[in-house]
């Protein structure tokens, strides 16, 4: 079994070790050392990275069968006595986040009686899941303030190994399933005491600060996303930069950003309403003009038109306006990089739009279309005005044939 030196010292990053086993894990070389400062993935905390003799360590985990720490490598190491180095930036980030989680979990208990049921430490975010699915804003703020107060007091953090008998007498916040006769306990002086195998700072002041950044209900639980230390600083820098740019762009102070954006949103909503109303009026006038210009064929008018400067949504709206006229059929085509056919008829007009559109689309090299007897549409590849016009001619002939057959 590997001696886990990080249990007693999270700050040492360079050490010597002896290779006691070589193996392969998922096609990559791996080794077991007689002792290690590399933290393996466990307890919600990811593994450490670094080098063994200059070879990158790309994964670290505990083997279930004998609890040996497996170091998965980016290449082979051939020597038995090896110089190792843990990547400090990643290690210290994990120390800040994990110790911060202990503080925040206890703060939620004291502020809201909300216990932590799980913890996740990722490369970008850290989360705790609380056993409640809702907390008042005042409770969230109280927990966050208490957590930061503990940090600013720079309380000592101490890890010790205790027996099962000793653990049973301690007021532990959380007790994991016991493995062996010893349990590692992490204490934040006069604030939190819990069983944990992770890496931690020696004093809470090293965390810097804790900031809750997001809340999310997940069934019966509440997920709290937070950032500690350097992550909190980077998050503040990013958001502060965004706010300053927006304030400059909108020529307002950052305190006025929210009411300014709300006002602009309401103005945009009203402008869209007015624009839609005016667009409907213009399309109504255009539809009336198209109907008047269309030739009368018996009891119906067929408005066949190819466009090259419209979007499909607008074209559907125009077709809808046209067929509001009795005895009217609209056969619209759109030429350009993506061709489109839109067929519609009024309720009293003859014809099955869903039957005539497919042969018309075939002329454009497509079969992607369909609809109902009164409305059908479909798209095709790029086509010029002449090609789309031919598709409309085919559709009109099929329509007349349908009419003749009834």
The per-residue DSSP string of 44-101 comes to: TBPPP-EEETTEEEEEEEE-TTT-PEEEEESS----SEEEEEE-HHHHHHHHHHHHHH
Is residue 195 within 8 A of residue 172, CB to CB? The reply is yes
3-state helix, strand, coil in the chain (%, to 5): 40, 30, 30
What are 95's two structure tokens? 């120390």
pLDDT score recorded for residue 404: 66
Domain spanning 3-86: CATH 2.40.30.130? yes
Q: Taking the domains of the chain in order of start, what are their residue ranges? A: 3-86, 92-246, 276-405
92-246: CATH class: alpha beta
pTM of the model: 0.77
Residue 178's pLDDT is 62
Per-residue pLDDT of the chain (406 residues; tens, 9 = 90+): 789 999 999 999 999 999 999 999 999 999 999 999 999 999 889 999 999 999 999 999 999 999 999 999 999 999 999 999 999 999 999 999 999 999 999 999 999 999 999 999 999 889 999 999 999 999 999 999 999 999 999 999 999 999 888 888 999 998 776 666 789 999 999 999 999 999 999 999 999 999 999 999 999 999 999 999 999 999 999 999 999 999 999 999 989 999 999 999 999 999 999 999 999 899 999 999 999 998 888 888 999 999 998 889 999 999 999 999 999 999 999 999 999 999 999 999 998 999 999 999 999 988 788 999 999 999 989 999 999 999 999 999 998 887 665 5
Residue 368: the pLDDT is 80
Distance CA 345, CA 330 (A): 6
Question: Would you say domain 276-405 falls under CATH 3.40.140.10?
Answer: no
- pLDDT of 205 reads 98
β-pairing, 300-307 vs 296-297, is antiparallel
Written as six digits, the tokens of 48 are 């450490």
**Token pair in block for residue 89:** 């930036």
From the number of C-beta atoms within 10 Å of its C-beta (0-12, 13-18, 19+), residue 342 rates as: buried
Phi, psi (degrees; rounded to nearest 5) at 110? -70, -35
Residue 358 has a CB neighbour count (10 Å cut-off) of 18
**C-alpha 213, offset from chain centre:** 15
What pLDDT shows up at residue 329?
94
DSSP H or E segment with residue 224: strand 221-228
């Amino acid at each position: 079994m590997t001696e886990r030196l990080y249990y007693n010292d999270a700050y040492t990053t360079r050490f010597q070790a002896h290779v006691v086993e070589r193996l392969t894990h998922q096609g990559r070389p791996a080794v077991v050392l007689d002792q290690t400062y590399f933290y393996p993935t466990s307890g919600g905390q990811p593994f450490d990275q670094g080098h063994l003799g200059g070879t990158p360590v790309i994964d670290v985990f505990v083997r279930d069968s004998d609890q040996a720490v497996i170091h998965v490598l980016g290449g082979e190491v051939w020597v038995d006595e090896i110089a190792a180095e843990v990547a400090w930036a990643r290690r210290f980030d994990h120390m800040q986040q994990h110790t911060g989680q202990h503080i925040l979990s206890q703060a939620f208990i004291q502020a809201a009686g909300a216990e932590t049921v799980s913890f996740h430490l990722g490369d970008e975010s850290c989360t705790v899941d609380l056993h409640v699915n809702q907390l008042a804003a005042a409770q969230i703020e109280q927990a966050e303030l208490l957590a930061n107060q503990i940090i600013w007091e720079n309380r000592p953090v101490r890890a010790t190994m205790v027996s099962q008998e000793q653990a049973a007498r301690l007021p532990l916040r959380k007790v994991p399933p016991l493995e062996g006769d010893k349990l590692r306990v992490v204490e934040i002086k006069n604030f939190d005491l819990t069983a944990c195998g992770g890496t931690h700072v020696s004093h809470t002041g090293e965390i810097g600060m804790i900031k809750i950044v997001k809340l999310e209900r997940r069934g019966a639980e509440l997920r709290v996303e937070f950032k500690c230390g350097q992550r909190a600083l980077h998050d503040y820098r990013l958001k502060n930069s965004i706010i300053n740019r927006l304030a400059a762009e909108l020529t307002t102070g950052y305190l006025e950003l929210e009411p300014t954006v709300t006002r602009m949103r309401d103005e945009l909503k009203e402008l869209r309403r007015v624009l839609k109303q005016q667009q409907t009026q213009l399309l109504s006038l255009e539809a009336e003009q198209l109907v008047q210009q269309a030739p009368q064929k018996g009891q119906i008018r067929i408005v066949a038109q190819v466009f090259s400067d419209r979007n499909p949504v607008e074209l559907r709206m125009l077709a809808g306006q046209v067929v509001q006229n009795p005895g009217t059929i609209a056969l619209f085509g759109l030429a350009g990089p993506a061709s489109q056919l839109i067929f519609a008829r009024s309720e009293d007009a003859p014809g099955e739009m869903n039957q005539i559109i497919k042969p018309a689309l075939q002329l454009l090299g497509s079969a992607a279309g369909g609809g109902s007897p009164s409305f059908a549409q479909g798209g095709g590849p790029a086509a010029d005005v002449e090609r789309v016009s031919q598709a409309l001619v085919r559709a009109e002939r099929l329509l007349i044939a349908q009419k003749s057959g009834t």
